[in-house]
Amino acid sequence: MNIIRLRRWWYAISLIIIVPGTISLFTHGLRLGIDFQGGQLLEVQGRVAQSEIQSKADQLKLKDLSVTPAGDNSLIRYRDEAAPKQQQSDHLALSSQLAASHHKEVRYETVGPSVSRDITRNAIVSVALAALAIVLYISFAFRNIPPPMTSWNFGVAAIIAMLHDALLLLGVFSLLGAFFKVEVDSLFVTAVLTVIGFSVHDTIVVFDRIRENLRRERGEFEAVVNRSILETLARSLNTSLTVLLTLLALYLFGGESIKLFILALLVGIASGTYSSIFNASPLLVSYYRYQQQRALNPKRAPA
């Protein structure tokens, strides 16, 4: 099997999957939950129709009311801009009306604007820090790379694979937000960070093998990379399979309130497996080819 020779196909598959989500990300963005925007969230038992509570919400001057099902329960979101004391009594008024129609409240969350600003800032800071720390770590872990590659090449390829996974995950959730009103919360940020970590984790195992093989023999660079991918293929697939199987168990049988979190991990880890096999290492070869062509023919820009 020659994975390297087919690399343009692998890149194309990645693009086909990533482009729609990315377009959605730039046009619709993500549907932000109360963690990032502030607002109120109520979980009640049973299915509630929005019409059941719309008039009450209007009367209480609650904005942006939306109702979505969550398992056997319903999630009710709104934004109450009254003073905190008033918000408390508005919530009571709404939940007692719901309780009267046998929708018992099981969860209530309210996030004020100052808190949501902090959560957003923390999310940005932690994603940026994690990315930075991982970049530093990769350049440290991949020092002493035998020629023709440098640790810098390995680092950039791992980071592109990582961005691939992050972008795919964000894109999928942007599409889910646009079509199914799926919102992102702090747990989603956690999922993004976990996926980033896993993506690099997976890529490192393949790169480690490439480094080892480069040290041991001086073959054709492409052949060494291809053999390294094949040698680690069983491990990559088996590890991802066990992680995906446990996640699938969590998705199917776990708690309702972490379902989207688990879905994010499923999407991200599947992507991480793909990118570590079909993107990260082939990119090393593409870059190697590019350098060689440039050395041979400095004037013509190679493809």
Partner 1 sequence: MSLRVKFWLILVLTVVTAVLAYPREDKILHAIGLKKASLHVQQGLDLQGGAHLVFQADLAKTAPADRSKAMDSLIDVIQKRANPSGTSEISVQRQGSDRVIVELPGVKDVNDAIDRIGRTAKLLFLEIPPSTSGTPQPIDTGIGGKDVDRADPDFDTQTSQPVVRLTIKSDARSKFGDLTTKIHNENGQLVTLLDNQVVFGPATVSQPITDGNAQLSGNFKSIGDARKIAQEITAGALPVPINLVEERTVGPTLGLESIQKSLVAGIIGLLVVAIFMVSYYRLAGLLAVAALLIYTLITLTLYKLSALTPYSIVLTLAGTAGFILSIGMAVDANILIFERMKEELRSGKSFVAAVEAGFDRAWTSIRDSNASTLITCFILYFFSGASPIIKGFAITLGLGVLVSLFTSVVISRTFLRLIIRTNLGRQPSAYGLRTNEATR
State how far the Cα of 93 lies from the Cα of 56, in Å rounded to an integer: 8
Long-range CB pairs of 110-114 (<8 Å, 24+ gap) are 110/34, 110/39, 110/40, 110/41, 110/80, 111/34, 111/35, 111/38, 111/39, 112/38, 112/84, 113/38
x/- mask, partner 1, residues 142-171, rule CB under 8 A, reads ------------------------------
Q: How far is CA 112 from CA 56, 115, 117, in A?
A: 22, 5, 9
Is the distance from CB of 204 to CB of 138 less than 8 angstroms?
A: yes
Q: Which one, 140 or 290, has the nearer CB to partner 1?
A: 140
Long-range CB pairs of 53-57 (<8 Å, 24+ gap) are 53/94, 53/97, 53/98, 56/93, 56/94, 56/97, 57/94
User: In whole angstroms, how close is the CB of 165 to partner 1 at the nearest point?
Assistant: 13
Rule CB under 8 A: choose which of 12, 23, 99, 129 binds partner 1: 129
238 lies in the binding site for partner 1 (CB under 8 A): yes
Rule CB under 8 A: choose which of 6, 13, 17, 141 binds partner 1: 141
Element (H, E) at 3: none
Is the distance from CB of 284 to CB of 3 less than 8 angstroms?
A: no
**Identity of the amino acid at 144:** N
User: In whole angstroms, how close is the CB of 46 to partner 1 at the nearest point?
Assistant: 13
Q: Which window, 59-67, 102-110, 175-183, 285-293, contacts partner 1 (CB under 8 A)?
A: 102-110
User: In whole angstroms, how close is the CB of 267 to partner 1 at the nearest point?
Assistant: 14
Q: Which phi and psi angles does 49 have, rounded to 5°?
A: -95, 145
194 lies in the binding site for partner 1 (CB under 8 A): yes
User: In whole angstroms, how close is the CB of 62 to partner 1 at the nearest point?
Assistant: 16
Q: Which one, 24 or 30, has the nearer CB to partner 1?
A: 30
Touching partner 1, residues 58-97 (CB under 8 A): 84, 88, 92
State how far the Cα of 122 lies from the Cα of 280, in Å rounded to an integer: 29
187 lies in the binding site for partner 1 (CB under 8 A): yes
245 lies in the binding site for partner 1 (CB under 8 A): yes
Rule CB under 8 A: choose which of 262, 267, 270, 284 binds partner 1: 262
Size of the site for partner 1 (CB under 8 A): 70
Rule CB under 8 A: choose which of 220, 253, 296, 298 binds partner 1: 253
Q: Are strands 105-111 and 73-79 parallel, antiparallel or unpaired?
A: unpaired
Nearest to 38 by CA among 105, 109, 132: 109
The residues binding partner 1 (CB under 8 A) are: 43, 84, 88, 92, 104-112, 114-115, 118-119, 122, 125-126, 129-130, 133-134, 137-138, 141, 186-187, 189-190, 193-194, 196-198, 200-202, 204-205, 208-209, 212, 231-232, 234-235, 238-239, 241-250, 252-258, 261-262, 265
